[in-house]
Amino acid sequence: MKVQILSRKLITPSSPTPEHLRLLQLSYLDQVAHTFYVPRLFCYLPSEEEERGGLGNSQKSELLQNSLSETLTLYYPLAGRYIKEKHSVECNDRGAEYLEARVSGCASLSQLLSSQERSQLLSKWFHQLVPDPPESDTTPLVMVQFNMFECGGVVIAICVKHTVADGVSCFTFINTWGKISRVGAVNEQFRPSFELASFFPPREVYLPQKSNGPGDDKKFFVKRLVFSAAAISTLKGIATSTGSTDSESLKHQPTRVEVLMAFIWMCLIRMAKARCAGFRPSLLLISVNIRNRTILPIPENSFGNIVVQAVARFFPDGKGKLELHDLAGKIHHAIRSTLSNCAKATNADDIVSLVNKANEELQLAKDTPDVDCYASTSWCRFPIYEADHGWGKPSWVSVPMFPNMRDVIVLMDTKDGDGVEALVALDERSIMHFFEQDPEILPFLGQELQA
């Protein structure tokens, strides 16, 4: 695959940001969020209408640029620049970066999206399709790369800095952009609120290093696991089996997210055991959306990071047992306990205390050599396939990960909504154990991963 960058420009808001909105103070929840950029790939196959003379890729790109300009007027901080020292965004209308690229020397996009090729697209070629955001005060908060394939298909890569937006906020921005592409304007209900700092003011806090630096030269791989509805049903049945005396063991029917997180976590624990000749303590952090989960009157259209971390813990009991229902129970308990504590919170300080407690536990675990830590998030039920710019919804959406996102698990719906795709980012040695040396794992995975 050869990717040639044809143009690079800054897309500025269609209307200037008023002077009184020129500085946005970010919230404490933004302050403790990861600082990396989260890339998302939206893959669009050419339609029959386009093959008969519909919009060409150059016209699509022009439409995207114009609609992005309109969208940035609503989401004006995303056209600004992050000021680390002040933990704020200077809303200076400098713009989002937009790149056009031509892709050649490879199969058609439809062939690349066949089940046998998608993992290659993520692990081998994604870095060519995704803009590479350097760590700089002048780096845009949003970067877009419009990749045009010879077959007529396009892949739109969108990178947004996590400091300013969680998953819900990002997909709301992206889908609003799509709606503006289609209809030209949106009503006031689509206007976001940027008032989170009034609920969670920034504070002086020691922020631990949360991820490997971008210069980490260890080999890094992303694997895509596909769970069918039947596989999920089977795993749910296993997870509800009885026999555990663990106080956190599952007593209720698990959600598909809980059971899949538990299954992947179990795989990772078994992987560590195979490598280290014994079970090791393990922590799983789960991002929990707290929109409409607290007494705080946070507007529904709030933009930013509105998540806290639930922590599930596995400690070897000396019996050498590792059961799916126990891990599913730990995850269920961690999520429900976190949501319950958020619901009981009478003010923002209570929420901040929950955030700090999870961060302190994570830092302590990372400082302990024999404890494994993983971060997880679920985009299931998110409107990830709604980004329609006027030529149809994407055929596939995914999140290729940068090296500083190692030890991360992301779940998302398959396009038909029945199954779940999981993306797991690990180093090379871990991947080998994870996929090649455990016959109890393989029966639940998509055919692609058994090759």
pLDDT, tens digit (0-9, with 9 covering 90-100), for 165-206? 999 999 999 999 999 999 988 887 779 999 999 999 999 875
Give pLDDT, residue 211. Answer: 43
Active site residue 388: yes
Distance CA 127, CA 121 (A): 9
Residue type for position 371: V
Distance CA 174, CA 193 (A): 16
Q: Which residues of the chain have pLDDT under 50?
A: 209-215, 217, 447-451
Do residues 264 and 424 make contact, with C-beta atoms less than 8 angstroms apart? yes
Residue type for position 401: M
Give pLDDT, residue 251. Answer: 66
Beta strands in 47-184 (DSSP E): 81-83, 88-90, 96-104, 142-149, 154-161
Beta strands in 105-187 (DSSP E): 142-149, 154-161
Give pLDDT, residue 447. Answer: 43
CA distances from 306 to 91, 141, 169, 188, 240 (A): 21, 18, 9, 22, 31
CA 228 to chain centre: 21
Distance CA 81, CA 75 (A): 13
Q: What is the DSSP letter of 220?
A: E
Do residues 68 and 79 make contact, with C-beta atoms less than 8 angstroms apart? no
Considering the candidates 162, 333, 389, 433, report the single residue annotated as catalytic: 162
Strands 408-413 and 372-378 turn out to be parallel
Complete domains list, the chain, with CATH: 2-199 (3.30.559.10), 220-386+403-450 (3.30.559.10)
Considering the candidates 93, 246, 350, 388, report the single residue annotated as catalytic: 388
CB atoms within 10 A of CB 107: 14
Residue type for position 331: I
pLDDT, tens digit (0-9, with 9 covering 90-100), for 402-427? 767 788 999 999 999 999 999 988 87
Distance CA 284, CA 280 (A): 13
Distance CA 437, CA 33 (A): 35
CA distances from 77 to 137, 163, 184, 323 (A): 14, 12, 21, 46
Give pLDDT, residue 250. Answer: 54
Do residues 166 and 305 make contact, with C-beta atoms less than 8 angstroms apart? yes
Distance CA 144, CA 117 (A): 23
Do residues 273 and 370 make contact, with C-beta atoms less than 8 angstroms apart? no
Give pLDDT, residue 320. Answer: 73
Distance CA 182, CA 290 (A): 31
Do residues 131 and 125 make contact, with C-beta atoms less than 8 angstroms apart? no
Do residues 24 and 88 make contact, with C-beta atoms less than 8 angstroms apart? yes
Give pLDDT, residue 154. Answer: 96
Q: What is the DSSP letter of 122?
A: I
Q: Which of 451, 443, 424, 410 is nearest to 238 (CA)?
A: 443
Give pLDDT, residue 451. Answer: 26
